[in-house]
Amino acid sequence: MKLSAFFAVVPFLLAACGGNGGSATPSSNVQSSEAAVVSQPAAAPAGAVPAQTNVVQTAQPQPPTPVQEAAPPAPAADSANPAASAPALVEYYGDSIIWGWMPNTDWGRVDQPAPAVFAADTGLAVHNMGSPGRLAENALAGDGVYPAWTQQMAQSKATHVIIEYHSHDTMANTTSRVRQLIQIAKANGKKVIVETIGPGNHAGDLSYDQITQAQRDAAAAESVPVIDQTAYLKQYLTSTGKSVWDICGDGLHPNPDVYVMKGHFAATQFAAMK
C-alpha cells in the first residue's frame, strides 16, 4: 500500500474506534427542538411483525378550552331572618292541650290533635311540640323533654313558632315569661305566633280568661300575631248555649271534635296572616 493511501484511511479508522484517540464515551442523542426526529427501522423479513419504532413528536396545538358561562347568582339570603327564604316548617309548642290529651283518660291521645288538623289544612310541615303539664317557666329553663329555650331555638330548623305556653301563678309572670319566649325565638330568626289557651278549668290561681289576657298582652308588647282560641271558643259557647263541660269532657281538655275545630280555626287565622 502506498503511504498516501494509508493516511487517507486513518481518519476513518479513528472515527470507528471512538474519536481522536481518547477513551470512548457514549454518544448523546440530541434532538432538535424545532423538528421531530424519527428513527427508521431496518427492513424486516416478509411476514415478520414490524419492530416498535421510537417516535418523538413535537407538541401539537390544542383547541382552546370552552369558556363556561357564569351561573346566575343564587338569591341572596335574608341575613336579618335566615328562615325567611327556607321552606316553611312550623313548630307548635304548648302543654297537654297542644299535645292532644283525650279527656278522662290516663295518657290517652286523640287521633287528631289540633296541630295535625292545622298541618292538613295548610299543607305545611308541622311538628307537634306539645308536652303535658309544661308551663312557660319550664320552657325557659328546660326540662326532661326539651332543653332550655335558648338552646331549643338555636338548634330549631323552624321558620314559624306557635307558642301556647302560659303560667299558673300571676298574670304579670305569665306576660313576662311569654315575652321572653317570643324575644328568644325572634332573635333566632323565627316568625312567632301566640295562641291563647282556650276555655277550661286550669289549675293554679288564674282563670282561663286571665291567662288569655296575659298571653295577649305579651303578644301585643312584642308585636306578634295571635291565634285567639279563647275568643273563638267562647263565641262558639255563646252561639250554641253550651258550657265548658260540654266541649271539654274533663273540664279542661277538649273533646276530639273540638280539637278538630281548633285546628281548622288556627289554619284559617294563619292563612290570614300572610
Q: Please report the pLDDT score of residue 135 as a whole number.
A: 98
pLDDT-derived band at 87 (thresholds 50, 70, 90) equals confident
pTM: 0.70
Q: Please report the pLDDT score of residue 88 as a whole number.
A: 93
Q: Rounded to 10 degrees, what is the CA torsion of 95, 96, 100, 104?
A: -160
Q: Please report the pLDDT score of residue 145 as a whole number.
A: 95
CA–CA separation, 130 and 191 (whole Å): 18
Q: For 43-58, what is the mean pLDDT? A: 40
186, with CB counted inside 10 A (0-12, 13-18, 19+), is middle
215 within some domain: yes
| % of the chain surpassing 90 pLDDT | 68
Q: For 151-180, what is the mean pLDDT? A: 98
Residue 175 has pLDDT above 60, yes or no: yes
60 within some domain: no
Lowest mean pLDDT among 28-42, 103-117, 138-152, 247-261: 28-42
Lowest mean pLDDT among 51-65, 83-97, 255-269: 51-65
pLDDT in tens, 68-86: 333 333 334 344 444 445 5
CA–CA separation, 268 and 101 (whole Å): 23
Using an 8 Å Cβ cutoff, are 179 and 165 in contact? Answer: no
Domain count, the chain: 1
159 within some domain: yes
Q: Rounded to 10 degrees, what is the CA torsion of 139, 258, 110, 140?
A: 0
216 within some domain: yes
In the β-sheet with 89-94, what is the strand arrangement from edge to edge? 125-130, 89-94, 160-163, 191-195, 226-227
Q: For 116-135, what is the mean pLDDT? A: 98
Q: Please report the pLDDT score of residue 34 as a whole number.
A: 34
Strand bridging mode 160-163 / 226-227: unpaired
> The domain containing residue 120 runs over which residues?
87-273
3 within some domain: no
Q: Look up cell 305545611; give the residue.
A: 124
35 within some domain: no
Q: Please report the pLDDT score of residue 274 as a whole number.
A: 67
The domain that holds 127 is classified in CATH as: 3.40.50.1110
Q: For 156-180, what is the mean pLDDT? A: 98
Residue 128 has pLDDT above 70, yes or no: yes
Q: For 217-237, what is the mean pLDDT? A: 98
101 within some domain: yes
